[in-house]
Amino acid sequence: MLKSLIWKNKQIEPVIKLEIAKVLTEDLNLKKILSLMSKEPLIKVTPDIFLNSITSDAENILFRQFILKDFLKRNDILPILEELIVALDEMQKLHKILKPELLVPKLMLRLRKLELYLSIMEKLEYIFNVENSIETSEEFSEIGEEIKNINNDTGLSALSEDIKKIKTISHKFKSIDIGINIDLQHEAREAIIININDFKYKKSNLIDKIRCGDSNKIQKLSIASEIDIRNAGQKLSFEYELYKEIETLLREDLNKIETILSKYSNLVTSGILAYRDEIFLYYGAIRLYGFMCSRQYKSYFPKITSDNIELKGVYSLVMAFESIAAEDENKFVVVDNNIDMSIPEKTILITGANDGGKTVMLESLGAVQLLFQNGIMVPASHAELPVYNKILSHFPKDEDLSIGAGRLGEEAGRVSEILKEANDSVLVLFNEPYITTSPTEGLDILVLSIKRFLEKGAVIFLVTHYLDFLSEINETEKIASYVMEIIGELRTYKAIRHEPMSESHALDVAKAYGVDAEGIIKLIRSRKDNSDSEVTV
């Protein structure tokens, strides 16, 4: 069987555990990024596909980068991958069907699986064996060679001929007549096969009226096998009888079909399903690249470093996504930034004005890391990044009253779970933790928590409004502090390397919405004056 298209080395422990995947998807708004990689509703790159593929092995990352770069050299690659994905999805559905008891559905299921297998392998051969004019990497060429050899061993052209033969035999049987007896409640009670035909009934229109009592056209009683559909909920009851009858009547032809299919009894079609998610990943990456190019956004295949982070021109794909959907494109300006962190720094701290882009920045950094560790190009003009064994996040959540721990208790519990996973190869993203308590206590708990993570060597990206955080925590040399820039009241969404400022400029935001001290009183008084305050109940 063909080796993996994305794993050069097997990954023993997943970077993103199943239980973390859902949290990460919500926190980093991954669905929006994944929708850029998808062609909905037909082809959907799901969070599972994306997150399950993430690797902490540098060789795997490089392997995928090579393959992807080679794919990107071809103009025709997307439509072929789409066809391949559709075929793989179809194959997946067929493999979910329980093995039928009766001969006819059993043979037909096997036929369809072989047909799909043929189609999939032909497409794979086409994809990985390019014209000589396009230079490809060694990794790419090796895969192409391997597919060719597998197809030759299987004997694909012979299989194709055999499938045609089978369908010629099966398609002699074209339609059946069924008589349905109806009870007093006008429910169907019995279905009876009257005829098996070698012709098809044509489409026709509803007639306008029924001629009653025309004795010249009395229909003789028809008889055939009785099939009881009283228990129509047992979904196989009618088909079971139908196929039993077909088996009897078409025994000779079915034997011929069985003989042909037995030549391929050793061919395991399910193995090919392993490539479904892998093809999805490459497809998604190519679509993402296409999106970036179409908008003239930069993209880059990051270099791998041991500890330092260097990002130039990094921007938010979520904002890019929003800008497509917005009526007014100017509402969503996509701003790029430069971020770096070098030894001994282990934390990127982001503070700044409300509505200044802190959360967007945090999400972007998280998304970049995930894309990189999937071997995919990142939204930046240049990137050098380390690889982490685990990536975890903690963003504020609505209170779950059923748990009974209160918001702070729930939050502390979540952070504690994350701490258990922490080590020097773990990245944790925190967005405004510990705001659901008094400010003094919240700051104390935040400082405690970050210290614990630093002790374990974890890398942290932290957003907070606790502006005294940097002065409270002793290990400032481990912290790269960024502030989201504000000039006057204007948010530039630029991150500048700076200690936290003294305020969050909340008043600007409040004023803009008319809920500052002056604005809110004005609002109430103007309503009183206009007497338009009544809302009908």
Residues 121-180 that bind other proteins (CB under 8 A): 167, 170-180
Count Cα atoms within 13 angstroms, Cβ side, for 283. 26
> Given the rule CB under 8 A, which of 128-136, 259-267, 283-291, 507-515 is the region that contacts other proteins?
507-515
Query: Which parts of 31-90 interact with other proteins (CB under 8 A)?
Result: 32
The smaller minimum CB distance to other proteins, of residues 70 and 508, is found at 508
Using rule CB under 8 A, residue 268 touches other proteins: no
Using rule CB under 8 A, residue 471 touches other proteins: no
Query: Which parts of 202-221 interact with other proteins (CB under 8 A)?
Result: 202-207, 209-215, 217-221
What whole-number distance in Å separates Cα of residue 299 and Cα of residue 313?
A: 9
Using rule CB under 8 A, residue 273 touches other proteins: no
The answer to whether the bond into 386 is cis (omega within 30° of 0) is no
Terminal Cα distance for the chain, rounded: 69
Q: How far is the CB of 240 from other proteins (least distance, A)?
A: 11
> Given the rule CB under 8 A, which of 197-205, 304-312, 338-346, 375-383 is the region that contacts other proteins?
197-205
- Selected binder of other proteins within 105, 155, 290, 313 (CB under 8 A): 105
Q: How far is the CB of 3 from other proteins (least distance, A)?
A: 32
For residue 401, the one-letter residue type is L
Q: How far is the CB of 152 from other proteins (least distance, A)?
A: 28
Q: How far is the CB of 281 from other proteins (least distance, A)?
A: 23
The smaller minimum CB distance to other proteins, of residues 153 and 252, is found at 252
- Selected binder of other proteins within 132, 133, 185, 530 (CB under 8 A): 185
Number of residues near other proteins (by CB under 8 A) = 149
What whole-number distance in Å separates Cα of residue 504 and Cα of residue 508?
A: 9
The answer to whether 354 and 483 have CB atoms below 8 angstroms apart is no
The smaller minimum CB distance to other proteins, of residues 401 and 487, is found at 401
- Selected binder of other proteins within 21, 465, 480, 486 (CB under 8 A): 465
What whole-number distance in Å separates Cα of residue 306 and Cα of residue 384?
A: 9
Question: Which of 171, 175, 162 lies closest to 253 in space, CA to CA?
Answer: 171
Q: How far is the CB of 312 from other proteins (least distance, A)?
A: 23
Residues 6+ apart with CB under 8 A from 197: 174, 175, 176, 177
Please name the residue ranges forming H helices in 295-375: 317-325, 358-372
Return the structure tokens found at 79. Answer: 């439509």
CB atoms within 10 A of CB 2: 16
Strand partners, 462: 349, 430
- Selected binder of other proteins within 47, 284, 356, 386 (CB under 8 A): 356
Query: Which parts of 308-347 interact with other proteins (CB under 8 A)?
Result: 318-319, 322, 331-332
- Selected binder of other proteins within 230, 255, 307, 406 (CB under 8 A): 406
Residues 6+ apart with CB under 8 A from 238: 191, 227, 229, 232
Please give the full DSSP string across 411-431, using - where no structure is assigned. Answer: HHHHHHHHHHH-STTEEEEEE
- Selected binder of other proteins within 40, 186, 294, 306 (CB under 8 A): 186
The answer to whether the bond into 41 is cis (omega within 30° of 0) is yes
> Given the rule CB under 8 A, which of 8-16, 53-61, 283-291, 359-367 is the region that contacts other proteins?
359-367
Using rule CB under 8 A, residue 421 touches other proteins: no
The smaller minimum CB distance to other proteins, of residues 3 and 527, is found at 527
Query: Which parts of 426-445 interact with other proteins (CB under 8 A)?
Result: 432, 435-442, 444-445
The smaller minimum CB distance to other proteins, of residues 374 and 449, is found at 449
Q: How far is the CB of 118 from other proteins (least distance, A)?
A: 15
The smaller minimum CB distance to other proteins, of residues 193 and 286, is found at 193
> Given the rule CB under 8 A, which of 122-130, 295-303, 338-346, 463-471 is the region that contacts other proteins?
463-471
DSSP designation for 300: B
**Antiparallel, parallel or unpaired: β 309-314 and 382-386:** antiparallel
CB atoms within 10 A of CB 481: 19
In b/e form, how buried is each residue of 86-118, taking b as 16+ CB within 10 angstroms?
ebbbbbeebeeeeebebbbbebebbbbbbbbbb
What whole-number distance in Å separates Cα of residue 338 and Cα of residue 383?
A: 10
Using rule CB under 8 A, residue 98 touches other proteins: no
The smaller minimum CB distance to other proteins, of residues 303 and 528, is found at 528
The answer to whether the bond into 79 is cis (omega within 30° of 0) is no
- Selected binder of other proteins within 45, 51, 111, 429 (CB under 8 A): 111
3-class state of residue 265 by DSSP: coil
Over the window 366 to 405, marking each residue x when it contacts other proteins by CB under 8 A and - when it does not, the resulting string is -----------------------------xxxxx-xx--x
